[in-house]
Amino acid sequence: MPQLLSSEPAEAILGDLAEALDLVDVGIVLLNRELRARFTNRRFAEMWAGPPELLATGPGFRSLLEHTAAILLFPVPVSELPTYLDQREAAVREGAVPPTQIDLLDGRRLLFRCVPCADCGRILTWADITPVKEEQDLHRLARDAAERLNVEQRYNAETLESQAAYLASLAETADESARRAEQANRQLEHEIAERRQLEAQLRRMATIDGLTGTLNRARFLALGQRALACARPVDRGLAVLMLDIDHFKLINDRYGHLVGDEALQHFVAQLRAGVRGVDLLGRLGGEEFAIILPAIPTEAALQVAERLRARVAATPLVHGDHAIGITVSIGLAMARDTDRTIEQVLGRADAGLYAAKDAGRNRVVSADMPVEAQIRACAG
């Protein structure tokens, strides 16, 4: 049994202990015997993007798993998610789970452990060991490169050995052949490196907008469709924002297309600073962008949209001696049970965008809420 090494009241000591657990760099969840959360620390909420309104209810372990599935972190296909969640829940319910590595879709690697408590509850911990994973990946790449080099060297050595008798009589020819072989080997290595670089560039071009670094239209729609499919079975809110820079043509006409490109990059930087890591940002064409916000209620999504609008309006692009003001019109739509494609939600958000422009630009219009409700949500 733990011993209290102080004469202070137990409540004060427990309060200090809870505050200390909030400072550790490990996500911690305490479950009761029904596998409902009794305590979650700050690092856990940061690690899994846990919304405060969910954590404050003392959710069940299953609800925490479903939230993580909704924000697209588990590395399994959508069709296999229910089985995967069942297995994770069953492992915790059975008792101790030894340290287990979990690779997430965003590139992180976590070390998970479950320890049973005397009161039949559970202590769950998640430690971020991504740096260890990256170091292991580097070691593996170096080992693979060394093995390939050894194979090439053995091949060259065997070839030279089989021709030793002939090369002995033709020393000058052998020296020239060896020099040419070395040149050819360097040329081959150079061509392989160029081909790999080209393949990486092609993969990036297939998914990323070259100017702004956002998702391109095709990749955005594909990931958006997956986000919609994940949101439906766990009944989580999903919002879509359509954004269009106001009077963008005037910037191009007055300052030139190079400054217009700089304005697009500046605009995207403001959007990135105002969204979560799990949100999807894509360029649909020209100065038109879209954002998908998974696992979010309507009023919270409207507040995010209003913060983005205000941030863009308050942060002009500085170019030389000019401060170029930029504003954005935003249309918002929430996914519905009847939606089968992400394009359906985008269409409603696009209608909200046109309504925002018709109403004078530099504003947010929701396709799902009356104007009075929008004003109250933005004020909150």
Q: Which residues are catalytic?
A: 287
- Read out DSSP for 160-201? HHHTHHHHHH-HHHHHHHHHHHHHHHHHHHHHHHHHHHHHHH
Query: What Cα–Cα distance (Å) separates residue 56 from each residue in 63, 153, 202, 204, 252?
Result: 13, 62, 45, 40, 49
DSSP letter at 90 equals H
Coil, strand or helix at 82: helix
130-166 b/e (C-beta count within 10 Å ≥ 16 → b): eeebeeeeeeeeeeeeeeeeeeeeeeeeeeeeeeeee
Q: Are 354 and 236 in contact (CB under 8 A)?
A: no
Distance CA 292, CA 223 (A): 9
CA-closest candidate to residue 44, choices 33, 35, 36, 55:
55
* Tokens (6 digits) for 354: 């046109």
Q: Are 324 and 317 in contact (CB under 8 A)?
A: yes
Distance CA 9, CA 65 (A): 36
Q: Are 227 and 292 in contact (CB under 8 A)?
A: yes
- Read out DSSP for 311-325? HHHHSPEEETTEEE-
CA-closest candidate to residue 230, choices 342, 143, 123, 154:
342
SS3 of the chain: helix, strand, coil, percent, to 5: 55, 20, 25
